[in-house]
Structure 1
Amino acid sequence: LQTSKTEQYVRELAYHDVLTGLPNRAFFNQQLRHKINRADLNGKKLALLFLDLDRFKLINDSLGHDAGDLVLKAAADRILRSVRKNDMVSRLGGDEFTVVFEDIESADFAAEISKKICDSLRAPFVFMHQRMFVTASIGIAVFPEHGKDSNSLIKHADTAMFKAKEAGLDYCYYEEGMEDEVTQKIQTEQDLRSSLDHGGIIFHYQPQVELATNEVVGFESLARWMHPTRGIVSAFNFIEIAEETGLIGQMSDLAFRNACDQLEAWHTKGFDVRLAVNVSTTDFRDGHFRNKVLTLFDEDQYHFPPSMLEVEITESTLMEQPEAAQEELSVLRAKGVSIAIDDFGSGFSSLNYLKRFTVDLLKIDREFVIDCVTDKNDQAIITGIVTLAKSLGLKVIAEGVETAEQAAFLTNIGCDYAQGYFFGKPAPAEEINRGIESGLYRVKLS
């Protein structure tokens, strides 16, 4: 009897996930083959969902494996409660789950359940009084339309899941040709990883000018990827991939280290300029952001005033978790680091919180600057932001300035600073230094 129980226990371990109690990858693969054969014999449809939890790595890395395990177990339970009794839910490993539906009349059924699962996962998970939020990306492949064997069905559901994640969708059906897009994205991730490890990410700097004096008072640091075959790639085209693949932390470390090195070089030359570094939403919410910045000032190699370093964060990021953001920024501000709210005006939800945040600068979204010479609404919005900022003791910078007329309008309404191609395009430090030495850029001296 004892031997029988031991054998049963061993079988359970072999075919079930210890943490969640769900069937594991081995059992899933075995059963999927059987279910496909049965569907084929009976002329029935079968659907496979491939589910990946978004933001799980962030929870695991910032709050620890106990928090991660709680989320996985609770997520498994919510998925089970969202499906029918006879549907097979499995955990393949990490934060990947699958669901197999047999005997379905229409592929629409898989979409209905996918939505139900995603809705169930949106409710917060609680660990040690800490509320945690995850979402899911689900790929759907249907037998026999999307594959006639287990390998092709799994591959196509996985491909559709990547597409859903990329597009920010809850779920996505497989479509022919998706593999090429996903393969290209995987190759891009591999190239980005390699470039981060081998110096392929560089930084260009765009001047920020004081409108009243035409002096350069700062620069914005902008990442550029020196791709081996595509040439120079702007951050807009790779930051999202860095966020999705967990590389954004490494990229942020590099950006702030580079900024400090550059500020030290300019400080040594006697230049009194700020350098703004953009902060990713993903990086800001991981719970370690302020320490990343503050530890740099503990190093003996940097002697520039902390106020020369400017952290640039979008208002949408601030509004995601305003209380946590307030604490994070207050600590940085107490050290002397300058704080700027980027893309200000793109969502006026932050107006109610502006007094609470310890910030120095509002950066007007370029969308309002483009037509500010002719569009009365844009003029009113920009004027309102400048007036509001002055009443709160804040400075204002307008980005995306490309013409003399735009610069004149901004000067007339009292905007403090401006940035854009009219004043200078982003350029490497060597080119900026040559511009300063030649008198092209007139910088403030310390």
Structure 2
Amino acid sequence: MVKLTAEQPQKLQTSITPARDFQDWELNHFQQHQAIIWQHLNDAVLICDDRMHVLTVNPAFERITGFTRADVIGQNVELWRSGLMNKRFYRHLAQTLEQQALWQGEIWNRRKDGTPFPAFLTVCKQVVSAVTTGYVAIFRDLSAQKEAESHVHNHTHYDLLTELPNRQLFAQSLGRLCSYEDPFALLVLDLNDMKTVNTSMDHQTGDDILCAVAHRLSGRIRSSDLLARTGGDEFALLVPGIVNRRQAEIFAKQIMGSFDWPFQLENQQLYMAAAMGIALWPMDSKEPDVLLSNAEQALFEAKKQRLPLKLYSSELRRNLRSRNKLQQDLANAIKYHQLSLVYQPIWDIDSHRVVKLEALVRWQHPERGAISPVEFIPLAEESGLIQGLGQWILLHACADLVKLHRKGFTQIQMSVNRSTPEFQTIDLDAREWLTTIADMGLDPKSIIFEITESLLMSNQESNRQRMHALRAAGCGIAIDDFGTGYSALSYLRSFPIDVVKIDRTFVRSIPEEKQECLLLDGIINLVNNLGMTLIIEGVETDDQLDYLRQRQCSYIQGFLFSKPLPFDELLSYLQRVMPSRQ
């Protein structure tokens, strides 16, 4: 057998590339170009004999691998094998070369310093003569490409803050699990009051908490589980092997144990709470989207009921159907004017007259009867119906106030409740509400908009702008049910507030409970010192009225004076208690 030697690469290359009938000048010209390509090609090239011993390499091979030409000449190509490819891979490569004389694919090689690197390799078998065989191998370093692909993959599939899988990777993993036969649990977890943390502290603190939560949750799951951050303050887990609700509940409680002790931040400790919803495959659904929706519905119910966790169930499914029907019925009630308003008088006990009215919406369902606002107002907020409902209330309250003014009760103001979602969706100049008031022919000074403490806690400049726009037009701004939410007294100074309404919970135990009296006295003094109007809600007894009168509380609202009244009854009531005002 004729053996190829290191001195023969030019002959080998010549024999396997140009046509033998080239003219001499053409041959020389071609060989000059070959030499230039060989010297400057970016891809590594090596030529081997039939036993895979190296005959020669080009400069790119030396740059890529770190091996010099002297290191590899006469050496077997196993010299730079990485050890990451198994024997089956190399057997397949050899068989392909034998059958097709060409193999292409990705491979892991080793540099001279021992570090592995990915490469795209092309190996071509060359038959020089009947008795002489050689191999030409060309490979390209894929390290930079793989690093870029990895960066893109991480950016696309992982949350940059917590380094957990993101919603996209979670959805892919969920779909893959649903295509298998093994049962698993899907858990969604939502942190409580993260908005409060972000607004009352700063977003860096919020980010630190999210990272700390991710770290704690990661420490409580198995290697087979998947934990992802699927939203701002929402996480999701896929837990294979959970076959029943009892198992799921036990596992969920272990996860929720992450919140049993405070989170240690740089300068403070913070206790955090969370809620969790759970759905099981395949019993709750075999469809990925439906299963996720069921888990989120369970989470919603957990938060609504102030529970740490809730499992999706047939009962929950029935409740959801009932809620969806009620939501549709509410939409129809708004559309077809099936709602009604009642009005509770607010008295000035110094002048012995009604000075304000609070408009309250009522819904008489054709099948279920009277439905409490405590039930359908949150439903309207959750479903996006609150804007339409609020506009209906404002329009009809204004219309009834016009009727009262025409009857001679021109000094009465109307208070209209507006929820936080309503307030945050109007224009910064509150044009929609002010236009409704103007279209009814009312002076804006006759309308007071009641908002809740949660709107103040959001501390958004846009909310402050809307308040200023309403006040500039003449409307009043009242804080309803003060003291039942966040009780952030300091916020009263930073927002344009005219009226503070003290909730009935501060009144029902006076004057018997001394501690309640001290608390109420403190709030009364604070509001009076800030120069705001104070309205006390829920006054039902003469003793309560006497106590409040002694503290110079002039504006009173409660059953002691009147329950909420439909318009016709209200008109009769006003004509009876204030006949001289007509």
Give TM-score, length-normalised by structure 2. 0.56
SS of residue in 1 equivalent to 2:350 = coil
Aligned AA (1:385) = I
Cα gap change, 1:396/1:143 in structure 2, threshold over 3 Å: closer, same or farther? same
Q: How does 1:404-443 map to 2 (within 5 A)?
A: 404-437=542-575, 439-441=576-578
In 2, the alpha carbon distance for the partners of 1:140 and 1:284 equals 33
Q: Output the CA distance in 2 between the equivalents of 1:150 and 1:256.
A: 43
For the residue of structure 1 that corresponds to 2:488, the secondary structure is helix
487, 500, 514: which one aligns with 1:376:
514
Matched, 1:212 2:350: yes
Instruction: List aligned pairs for 1:61-210, cutoff 5 A.
Output: 100-103=238-241, 107=248, 108-109=250-251, 139-143=277-281, 146-147=283-284, 157=295, 159-167=297-305, 171-175=309-313, 177-210=315-348
Instruction: Report how far residue 390 of structure 1 moved.
Output: 2.8
The alpha carbon displacement at 1:233 in A equals 2.4
Which residue among 28, 34, 52 is the counterpart of 2:179?
A: 34
Moved more, 352-361 or 224-233: 352-361
Cα distance change on mapping 1:422 and 1:110 into 2, 3 Å: closer
Structure 2 partner of 1:294: 434
Partners of 2:480 and 2:285 in 1: CA distance: 50
Distance verdict in 2 for CA 1:89–1:291, change over 3 Å = farther
Q: CA deviation at 1:269?
A: 2.6
Q: Tell me the CA shift for residue 314 of structure 1.
A: 2.1
Residue of structure 1 aligned with 2:413, choices 245, 253, 274: 274
Which runs of 5 or more residues in structure 1 are unaligned? 1-15, 40-45, 55-77, 117-134
Decide which of 459, 484, 504 is 1:346's aligned counterpart: 484
Tell me the number of residue pairs that the alignment of Structure 1 and Structure 2 aligns: 381
For residue 377 of structure 2, the aligned residue among 239, 257, 273 is 239
Match of 1:22 in 2: 168
Write the mapping of 1:386-401 to structure 2, written as runs, cut at 5 A.
Answer: 386-401=524-539
> Quick check: 327-336 or 418-427, which moved more?
327-336
Question: How many Å apart are 1:317 and its aligned residue?
Answer: 2.6
Q: Sort the Cα spacing of 1:254 and 1:97 in 2 relative to 1 into closer, same or farther, 3 A.
A: farther
Question: Deviations 1:296-331 (Å, cap 9, x if unpaired)?
Answer: 24x4x3332211101112223312326443332122
Partner AA of 1:353 in structure 2: Y
> 1:122 corresponds to which residue?
none
CA separation in 2, counterparts of 1:24 and 1:156?
Answer: 16
Deviations 1:60-104 (CA, angstroms, capped at 9, x unpaired): xxxxxxxxxxxxxxxxxx9xx979997679999xxx998643346
C-alpha distance in 2, partners of 1:397/1:167?
A: 31
Amino acid of the residue matched to residue 179 of structure 2? H
Q: Does 1:223 align with 2:223?
A: no
1:384, 1:425 → 2: CA distance? Answer: 28
CA contact (8 A) 2:353 2:577 kept: no
Cα pair 1:217 1:443 within 8 Å, conserved: no
Distance 1:159 1:394 in 2: 42
Q: 1:443 to 1:273 in 2, by over 3 A?
A: farther
Query: Residue 450 of structure 2 contacts residue 480 of structure 2 at CA under 8 Å; is this kept in 1?
Result: yes
CA 396–90 in structure 1, closer or farther in 2 if over 3 Å, else same: closer
Q: Judging changes above 3 Å, is the alpha-carbon distance between structure 1 residues 47 and 204 closer, same or farther for their aligned structure 2 residues?
A: same
Contact 1:373 1:405 in 2 (8 A): yes
CA distance in 2, matches of 1:321, 1:444: 41
Does residue 257 (structure 1) correspond to residue 395 (structure 2)? The answer is: yes
For residues 393 and 335 of structure 2, the distance between their equivalents in structure 1, rounded to whole angstroms, comes to 14
- Alpha-carbon deviation of 1:348? 7.3
**Mean CA deviation greater in 401-410 or 100-109:** 100-109
- Return the alpha-carbon distance in structure 1 between the equivalents of residues 350 and 382 of structure 2: 42
Match of 1:284 in 2: 423
Cα deviations by residue, 1:340-366 (Å, 9 ceiling, x for unpaired)? 121223367432232332222221110
Cα deviations by residue, 1:389-442 (Å, 9 ceiling, x for unpaired):
3322222111101112222221221101101111111111111112223x1355
SS in 1 for 2:568: helix
Q: Secondary structure at the match of 1:312?
A: strand
TM-score normalized with structure 1 length: 0.71
2:128 is matched with: none
Could you tell me how far apart the structure 2 residues matched to 1:383 and 1:29 are? 57
SS in 2 for 1:355: helix
Q: Which SS does the other structure have where 1:370 is aligned?
A: coil
Give distance in 1, aligned partners of 2:285 and 2:390: 44
Native 8 Å contact 1:372 1:378 kept in 2: yes
Letter in 2 for 1:440: V
Contact 1:359-1:394 at 8 Å conserved across structures: yes
CA RMSD of aligned residues (A): 4.3
Separation in structure 2 between the aligned mates of residue 280 and residue 255 of structure 1, nearest angstrom: 12
Q: Which residue of 1 aligns with 2:204?
A: none
- Asked if the contact 2:182–2:240 (Cα under 8 Å) also holds between the matched residues in 1, the reply is no
Percent identical: 34
Corresponding letter in the other structure for 2:555: Y
Q: Is the 8 A contact 1:207 1:220 kept in 2?
A: yes
Residue 238 of structure 1 aligns to a residue whose secondary structure is helix
Q: Does 1:355 align with 2:501?
A: no
Distance in 1 (CA, whole Å) between partners of 2:493 and 2:252 is 47
Compared with structure 1, are the counterparts of its residues 24 and 371 closer, same or farther at alpha carbon in structure 2 (3 Å cutoff)? closer
1:187: Cα distance to partner? Answer: 2.0
Q: Which runs of 5+ in 2 are unaligned?
A: 1-155, 158-165, 193-213, 259-272
CA contact 1:342–1:365 (8 Å) conserved in 2: yes
Deviation at 1:381, TM superposition (A): 2.8
CA drift at 1:273: 0.4
Q: SS where residue 177 of structure 1 aligns?
A: helix
Q: 1:397·1:417 contact (CA, 8 Å) conserved in 2?
A: yes
| Structure 1 position 150, deviation (Å) | 5.1
Partner Cα separation in structure 2 for residue 193 and residue 28 of structure 1: 38
In 2 relative to 1, CA 223–213 (structure 1 residues): closer, same or farther, beyond 3 Å?
same
Query: Counterpart in 1 of 2:540?
Result: 402
- Secondary structure at 2:179's aligned position in 1? helix
CA contact (8 A) 2:256 2:274 kept: no
Q: What is the letter of the counterpart of residue 295 of structure 1?
A: T
